[in-house]
Amino acid sequence: MRKLLLSLSTITIVLLSFFILKLKQIDNFYKTKGRLNFIVYSPQFYVYSYDLVNNVDYLIKLETNLKFDVAGGFGVYEVGSVGKIAYLEKNNNILITSFSGLLGLPIDYYFYNDINQVYRNFPQEKISVLGLWDVIALKSNLGFAQRIYFLSKLVDINKRNLKFLSLNRFVNEEGVIEDDLLANDLQGIFYSSNLSYEDKLIVIYSWNYLAGQRISKVLEGIGLNVFSVNKSVENSGSCLVVDNGVEERSKTADFLVKYFNCDYELDLQNKDDFVEIEFYLNNLVEQWR
């Protein structure tokens, strides 16, 4: 019995240590990235961007009847229809890629109650922050450790004032959001000082230009330096990030690897090439085009 209790104690300590390490890794990633960004797919559609460095937080309201180009080659649809598309395609990541590409902001998480619902012309409600119970009860792409981390941050975040952003002024006569006008207006708002200070020159390689442009917009939206989007041969393998001429992984490359779930290579020989990071989209193209 004594040995069993000792074994259980050891297992508990190991699991707890692993969990604490996991939380620390999550915290380090978001502090480097600078912001925690998430969407709530509901009749009142919101995009939240919380600043973990300078405490400058934004709430972006998207009217559900506004139209935009949905990532994945689906064309122009209303904001309130994207969840339905994701449901039919059995790919909730469409929420991430579509709204990240629209706003030039790397969305981390989504929350929803009924993703199969199409939201149109719902009455306006008072703007509210995401509550602790919402994080627990709503469906999300949060893992267990990420949910605990999110809850710990939300306690502090909800005490702060949110700056409200509306996109209505970027909508044309057909009710479509003008991407270029929006990108220019939001430029600089979501910059990550921890990443932009490296000023790494990035070249994106993509066999689909629209996918490259959409991802370029996201990277430039947080202050990364994208030199160009170059044509590559079609490749369905894992996306790849190559650090050129450095001896250890740069923060910029580390962000790309972790956010987009890519493979990584360190090229020590390529010290004379002006391109510091090569980003091969490969399997990301179908999701982001």
> Could you tell me if residue 96 is inside a domain?
yes
The parent domain of residue 282 ranges over 193-288
pLDDT of residue 270: 66
pTM of the model: 0.89
What amino acid occupies position 155?
V
Residue where a domain terminates, one of 147, 170, 186: 186
d(CA 125, CA 278): 45
> Residues 71, 148: one domain?
yes
Secondary structure, 3-state, the chain: CHHHHHHHHHHHHHHHHHHHHHHHHHHHHHHHHCEEEEEEECCCEEEEEEECCCCCEEEEEECCCCEEEECCCCEEEEHHHHHHHHHHHCCCHHHHHHHHHHHCCCCCEEEECCCCCCCCCCCCCCCCCCCHHHHHHCEECCCHHHHHHHHHHHHHHCCCCEEEEECHHHECCCCEECHHHHHHHHCCCCCCHHHHCCCCEEEEEECCHHHHHHHHHHHHHCCCEEEEEEECCCCCCCCEEEEECCCCCCHHHHHHHHHHCCEEEEECCCCCCCCCEEEECHHHHHHHC
d(CA 80, CA 109): 17
User: Residue for token digits 């393998």?
Assistant: 237
> Residues 182, 197: one domain?
no
**Running along the chain, 289 residues long, what does each successive block of 10 average in pLDDT?**
64 69 77 88 88 88 92 95 96 96 95 91 64 87 88 78 86 90 84 88 96 96 94 91 88 96 86 81 96
> Could you tell me if residue 148 is inside a domain?
yes
The CA-based angle 187-191-197, given to 5 degrees, is 125
> Residues 143, 278: one domain?
no
pLDDT of residue 238: 96
d(CA 19, CA 15): 6
What's the CATH number where 250 sits?
A: 3.30.70.2390
**What is the number of domains present in the chain?**
2
> Residues 154, 269: one domain?
no
d(CA 102, CA 179): 7
What amino acid occupies position 6?
L
> Residues 180, 215: one domain?
no
Residue where a domain terminates, one of 186, 218, 249: 186
> Could you tell me if residue 122 is inside a domain?
yes
> Could you tell me if residue 74 is inside a domain?
yes
Residue where a domain terminates, one of 186, 216, 249: 186
> Could you tell me if residue 181 is inside a domain?
yes
